[in-house]
Amino acid sequence: MHLHDDKIKFLEETAEKIRESIIVELEAAGSGHTAGPLGMADIFTLLYFHVLKHDPKNPNWEERDRLVLSNGHICPVLYAAMAHAGYFPVDELKTLRKFGTRLQGHPHRGALPGIESTSGPLGSGLSQAVGMAIGFKMDNKSNQVYCLMSDAEQEAGNIWEGAMLAGKLKLDNLTGIIDRNNIQIDGMTEDIMPLEPLRAKYEAFNWHVIDANGHDFQDLHNAVETARAIYEKPVLIIAHTIPGKGIPEIEFDYRWHGVSPGSGPIDVFKKKENQARDMLNRLRTLGGKIQSEHQ
């Protein structure tokens, strides 16, 4: 099914709002991850505003789909998407990582309605998602389970235990989405611990694998539609993304993987106290392609 132009425009505008919110909440927190959340904004926008069967006013609705965020450190994008979808006030994003907040540094089930799992140790989310998918099969329910993972997370052994079981049980109600941005905290994935051939590895575990452009809403939509049509196999979407998307100066720069605006490298954004402001300006001017009204 083709996304009509008006819906794509809406999704693009929403993704930009989510990116701006990511910078705002990270600046308020004074810590957190920047590159990954910015790179995944389009995917979370598509999920929360087009794909997922969910109800922000009734987050415990039994018929809802489940979203498991395995690489919990990119939770600023999850929280921003949920806030803009109506789960809680957007202003609450400024409480990220504060003492007593509902917006923990990793998602915590029970702290915030709409959070389906608790994450922390990388690699555990896929096994949690597999368990949910098995439960829905046992109950003959049609709920879909989506598991978001990082590419570097594929270095964790627990991932492959979950992948092996999902393939054995032919869990066609499970879709994994890997953020293939090629970076991790110490450098490029292919330098730290090469992942390729990533597609062939999952196919060997009896998964159907789809490559998609993580910033093209039509391509992502087509991948999700294909996933729904696959029978007796779990599906993996390898979403090729740009870490730091929207701010050209930090795109593909692994040094921004685990730092927030205000504490990042100073070779480009030289004054740390102005990093968030400068990043927001870049987002609002499409990376400097249009003149800022703030200039």
> pLDDT digits over 158-210, tens only?
999 999 999 999 999 999 999 999 999 999 999 999 999 999 999 999 999 99
Among the residue ranges 20-24, 83-87, 108-112, 285-289, the one predicted with the least confidence is 285-289
Report pLDDT for 50. Answer: 97
CB 211 within 8 Å of CB 240: yes
pLDDT at 293 over 50: no
35 inside domain: yes
% of the chain at pLDDT higher than 70: 97
195 inside domain: yes
Q: Beta partners for 256?
A: none
Q: Is this prediction's pTM over 0.75?
A: yes
pLDDT at 292 over 60: no
Q: Identity (one letter) of the amino acid at 199?
A: R
Could you tell me the residue range of the domain that residue 252 belongs to? 5-284
129 inside domain: yes
Report pLDDT for 1. Answer: 64
Digit-coded pLDDT (tens) for 69-112: 999 999 999 999 999 999 999 999 999 999 999 999 999 999 99
Q: What's the CATH number where 183 sits? A: 3.40.50.970
248 inside domain: yes
**How many domains is the chain partitioned into structurally?**
1
CA distance 182 to 252: 8
Which sign, positive or negative, has the C-alpha torsion 180, 186, 192, 193?
A: negative
Report pLDDT for 295. Answer: 42
292 inside domain: no
Mean pLDDT rounded to a whole number for the chain: 95
